[in-house]
Structures are given as C-alpha cells and as structure tokens.
Amino acid sequence: MSKSNFLFTSESVSEGHPDKVCDRISDAIVDTFLTADPSARVAVETLCTTNQIVLAGEVRGPDGITSKTLEEVARSAVRDIGYEQDGFHWKNARVDVFVHKQSADIAIGVDAAGNKDEGAGDQGIMFGYACDETAVLMPAPIYYSHAILKSLAEARHSGAEPLLGPDAKSQVTLQYVNGKPVRATSVVVSTQHSGTIDQDAVREIVRPHVLNVLPDGWMCPEDHFYVNPTGRFVIGGPDGDAGLTGRKIIVDTYGGAAPHGGGAFSGKDPTKVDRSAAYAARYLAKNVVGAKLADKCVIQLSYAIGVSKPLSVYVDTFGTAKVDEDKLSDVLQQLVDLSPRGIRTHLGLNRPIYARTAAYGHFGREPESDGGFSWERLDLVDQLKTALA
C-alpha cells in the first residue's frame, strides 16, 4: 500500500543552466534539419564550458546544412538565452563541429523497405505519466519548480529584472496529506545575479515570483525559504560548470514522481523512440486521467531497434482506475498506432518544434497552433469514454 502522508521534492533548472544550454543548442539543430527536410535524421550532442561549444553526432539531411550553419545555430541559441558574459558569450565562444553522416548500419534497421515498416531508431523503454494534482495533469512539485524559474526568466528577458543572470535552479518540497499536495514545506532558488547586489536583494527579487506561482497559503515558512544558500552566484552558466546534452532527464519529465527509461530527448529527431515514444506514453496517460478513468496513470512502452511495433505496453493506474486496466490497455493500442511511424503521424512530430521543449519541461505545456506540444492534447478523451462505457 502506498503512503498517503509524505513530503516529496522536485527540482528544475533554467534555460541558462549549462546542461540546458546544451539541450537548447541540440534541439535547435534538430529544428534546423527538420525545417529543411521533415524526414531528416539527427542525433547531435553538445558540450559547453568556458567560451567553448563542441557539437558532435550524426545526421542525414540536406548537404546545404554545413558545419558553418550549425555554428550559427549554436551561437543564435546562446544569444537567445541571454549569454553575453566574459566567460561565455554567444559571439566570442569558440564552436567546434564534429558532426558526420548517419551510420549506414543504423539506417538499414530504421528505414522502411519493401514489406518492412520503418523500425524504431533504438531499443529501450519509455514511460509516460499523468496525475490529477494540477490542471495540466502533472505532479505538483515539478510543475511549481518549473513555473518559478519560468517566471524569473520572463522577468529577465523583459528587462523587469535586469540584475538576474540566465543560470538558475529551483527546488520545491510539498507536503502531501491523504495523497494530495497541501502546502510547500521548503523552497530553494539559486539564481545567477549581478555582482552589484547581495544575497538579501536577490531574495527579495525572487520572493514575489514564488508567491505568485504557489497557490494561496502554500508558501513555506520563512526559515525554509532558501535563496542562493551559498551567498553569492555571480559566475554561472558554462563558465561556472560544464554542460552536456541529456543530463537533466528527470527535470525534463516528472521530477522523480514517475519511472524513467533513461533515454534523453534533446538532440534527437522523432524516429528515435527515446523521444517520440516517451511523448506518446505521456499523451496516452494524460488522456486516461483527463477522461477521469483514473486519478493517475503510468504507461511503459518498449522497443527493439529496427522493429516497428512495441514489444510491450504496460498500464498501471495505482489502483485508481474506474475501468478494467487490461481493457484500458487494449483500447489505447486500438486508438493509437504505437509504431514509430504511427506515433510521428498521429502527433505530427516531423516538424521544427523542439527548441522550445529544451527548458521548463517537455510535459505540462499548452499545445500550440503549429503542432508544438501536440502530445499534451486531450483529444482522445471522448473516444476513451465511449470505448470503455
């Protein structure tokens, strides 16, 4: 039996965190290739440190996308984030590009040929999760952790808070009573700032953003509100700590409230099931909870490289289902083709919609008119209700 009274913590990191800088660059490269060719293949990793950006990976796409193109994409991403610091500057950083053509052996396994449908771009397991703790059907701790940093970033970009830097982290601990979150017991925010202000000034800049994000009455006690606990955070971003693509997979998903298969999303085109199948699993789980067929739901999908159909589809509603779980699993598989091609077609994933996912979570976002965050749609709700009536 699961516990009903407990504390649970999740963290988020901002777009200027070194790892998120790398995710943003890698996803901007994915978008560049998909803009030129929706069937392009991309698997590109980024490393960044003090005034240094390194790109490495394999691609299949138009020859017109050169190393110089990729360098310009990387610089543009860093500029958009807001790095114009001595130790990391979009214009002055060195960019090395080690990107080559996709392996022919991988291409053989993935490409459709004759009677063979397109296969998964890799083996692995992917999880999707949804719960009724928030309006967007996300776990509350990660939802509020993201929202605090997004609020600070918007204020920085607008010029309302010019003394803040791009690098930041947040951490929210919530108290659960009878399985439902009721208040924050602690909030931690560390944000890069100008050397002209001290810790107390940063604390008062951060405070209203936390108060505005948390529900009324949820603010933690003052002695558990930690802002820049080390006292100073002037040197930040890749100048303060090296970054790598794919190192914040729990931040990207459910904040530790659900299982994770281990595969990162950023830098991968949607033939890679690490990305597309994780989106599909979230889509299915969200529609189950959105249809009020369960209070929470986790879905696991598994794939083998070169094989089109999932090897397994596992559904768990933690005893909260209002319908038979086996029947629910069957209906979900009838409603959505979970082959890599089927997922991409159903969710419209062969589009340049990925740079925007690189910070503040891939889930719990609003579906956008151009197809961005299509996996957050609730368009299966009526079909599920009808099929399971």
- Tell me which of 11, 31, 239, 274 is the catalytic residue: 274
Q: Is 292 a catalytic residue?
A: no
Binding-site positions: 17, 19, 45, 58, 102, 167-169, 232-233, 241, 247-248, 264, 268, 272
- Tell me which of 33, 88, 127, 233 is the catalytic residue: 233
In whole angstroms, give the CA distance from residue 23 to residue 153.
Answer: 17
- Tell me which of 24, 41, 75, 272 is the catalytic residue: 272
Q: Is 268 a catalytic residue?
A: yes
In whole angstroms, give the CA distance from residue 201 to residue 287.
Answer: 44
Binding-site positions for ATP: 17, 167-169, 232-233, 241, 247-248, 264, 268
Binding-site positions for L-methionine: 58, 102, 241, 272
Q: In a 3-state reduction of DSSP, which class is residue 73?
A: helix
Q: In a 3-state reduction of DSSP, which class is residue 205?
A: helix
- Tell me which of 11, 15, 19, 133 is the catalytic residue: 19
Binding-site positions for K(+): 45
- Tell me which of 146, 209, 247, 296 is the catalytic residue: 247
**Closest alpha carbon to 315 in 285, 337, 345, 338:** 285
- Tell me which of 36, 56, 201, 242 is the catalytic residue: 242
Q: Is 316 a catalytic residue?
A: no
Q: Is 72 a catalytic residue?
A: no
Q: Is 45 a catalytic residue?
A: yes
Q: Is 58 a catalytic residue?
A: yes
Binding-site positions for Mg(2+): 19
Q: Is 84 a catalytic residue?
A: no
Contact 250, 216 (CB under 8 A): no
Q: How many residues would you count in the chain?
A: 389
- Tell me which of 60, 75, 268, 356 is the catalytic residue: 268
- Tell me which of 36, 37, 56, 58 is the catalytic residue: 58
Q: Is 265 a catalytic residue?
A: no
Contact 130, 162 (CB under 8 A): no
Other CB atoms within 10 A of residue 93 CB:
21
User: What are the CA-CA distances from residue 309 to residues 110, 120, 346 (Å)?
Assistant: 12, 8, 15
Q: Is 242 a catalytic residue?
A: yes
In whole angstroms, give the CA distance from residue 113 to residue 134.
Answer: 44
- Tell me which of 150, 209, 248, 362 is the catalytic residue: 248
Q: Is 17 a catalytic residue?
A: yes
Q: Is 116 a catalytic residue?
A: no
Q: Is 370 a catalytic residue?
A: no
User: What are the CA-CA distances from residue 117 to residues 64, 77, 341 (Å)?
Assistant: 29, 36, 8
Active centre residues (catalytic): 17, 19-20, 45, 58, 169, 233, 241-242, 247-248, 268, 272, 274
